[in-house]
Structure formats: C-alpha cells, structure tokens
Chains A and B, each alone.
Chain A
C-alpha cells in the first residue's frame, strides 16, 4: 500500500525559506503527479503546485515566484521550498498524489495524502 511520509522544519521566522520533503513508500513513483497542498488554520485547502517523475512542474500563479519544487527519483522523494515566508504562510502542508492521463486529458483525484506538516511562521 502506497504511503507518503513527509517531514521538514515546523517553525520559521519571517523571510526564511520553508523546506519540506515527501517520501513515497510501497508503490510506483513513476506515472503519477506529486502535489503540494496547504491549509491555513481553520481555513480551506490551497493548491501550491505539482511535479511529475520526469520533472515537469506546474505552480499556482499566486505562489509561483516563491516556490521551488524538485524530485529525486532514486529516493522516491519530492521536495518543496517556499522562500521569503510570512505569517500568511502558516499552514499545514500536505503532499498528495494524483494520476493524469495525458491521452484523455483526465485529471484524477488526490487519492493518497501525506500526514501533513504544520509550519508556523513567527518572529
């Protein structure tokens, strides 16, 4: 059974860079898109961006300038960096998986999620 395990620093100061890693265990890494989603306390879900096993990246327009995503296929890991954080970036950050069928242009649901990492930005 596929599991996503994520980790990273939970407390940052304003202007620092958020750094999270998500490891994929127990299943295929290739053929899927790996996504970052965040949820501020008491609020809804916000998509950050995605990367596939070939390194194709797609970002949310609102965060694009601050987001860096990478993939390590040898370790089945994806990473997220978000620069110049502010209090508004305080949230639980999730990694998640979805399947995209290029031929039919079907975008699947996020069927597997990491456990979430609470990141707090405070001076």
Chain B
C-alpha cells in the first residue's frame, strides 16, 4: 500500500516561513490535498490539487509537489496557523492520509 510520511512536528517563529513536507514514492504523479485541523474542530482543506487554494484561505498558504515530496508552505506565520496539518492522496481508489504534522508558532 502507498504510504505518506510527515514529520510529527514543525516549529516556526512568528512571522517566518513554515514548510510542512509530505513524502511519498513518486508523489509528484499524484494530486495532493492538505488539511488544517485545530483542536476540537473538523479538518479544513487549505490546499487542493497540489497548488490550489480554496476560497477563504490566505495567500500566505502555498503548495508544491515534486519528486517524492509535496510541501505546504505557510509564509508570515501567525499564531492562528498553529494546528495539525495532514496531506492526503488517492491511490488505487483508496484514500491515504499522512500521519499529520503539528505546527507550532513560537
């Protein structure tokens, strides 16, 4: 089965740029979606199809996908960005989630 690997945690200083990686074999051939989840809330999609922001998501959020790594980048990180972030792909008609990354804004 296909696996997605995310670091358990990423820290970023307030106002700096955070990068959340998602590793998978030849992940560049897949459409990667990203979700933000704050404690006690349902996930919210913040990036779809690698690089597309849904309406209402700040331009500070961007995505890329190349080789074996997809990356969610959050520029000018704010306290409100502190959350868990999950990458997700489809493989063989099955949904695959990464294990999630806890982003801490220092």
Q: Number of residues in A with C-beta < 8 Å to the partner?
A: 21
Q: B94 within 8 Å of A by Cβ?
A: yes
How far apart are the CA atoms of A114 and B41 in the complex, in Å? 10
Contact assessment for A113 and B95 in the assembled complex, using a CB-CB cutoff below 8 Å: no
Contact A44 B31 (CB under 8 A): no
- From 86 to 100 in chain B, residues with beta carbon under 8 angstroms from any chain A beta carbon are 86, 88, 90, 93-100
Please name all residues of chain A whose beta carbon is closer than 8 Å to the beta carbon of B97 when the two chains form the complex: 44-47
Contacting chain A: which of B17-25, B42-50, B64-72, B73-81? B42-50
Query: For the complex, what is the distance from the CA of A61 to the CA of B54, rounded to whole Å?
Result: 30
Find out whether the CB atom of A110 lies under 8 angstroms from the CB atom of B35: yes
Interface pair B31/A106, CB less than 8 Å apart: yes
* Chain A residues positioned under 8 Å from B96 (CB to CB): 47
Place the interface of chain B in its size category.
20 to 34
Given contacts A47-B97, A94-B42, contact A109 B88 (CB under 8 A): yes
Contact of A61 among B33, B49, B94, B98 (CB under 8 A): B94
Within 8 A of B (CB), among A18-46: 35, 37, 44-46
Q: Which residue of chain B has its CB nearest to the CB of A106?
A: B31
What are the 3 A-B residue pairs with the smallest beta carbon separation, nearest first?
A47-B95, A109-B33, A109-B48
What are some 19 contacts across the A-B interface (CB < 8 A)? A35-B95, A44-B99, A45-B35, A45-B43, A45-B97, A46-B97, A58-B93, A60-B95, A94-B42, A107-B90, A109-B35, A109-B48, A109-B49, A109-B88, A110-B35, A110-B43, A113-B42, A113-B43, A116-B42
Residues of B within 8 A of A (CB): 31, 33, 35, 42-45, 48-49, 54, 86, 88, 90, 93-100
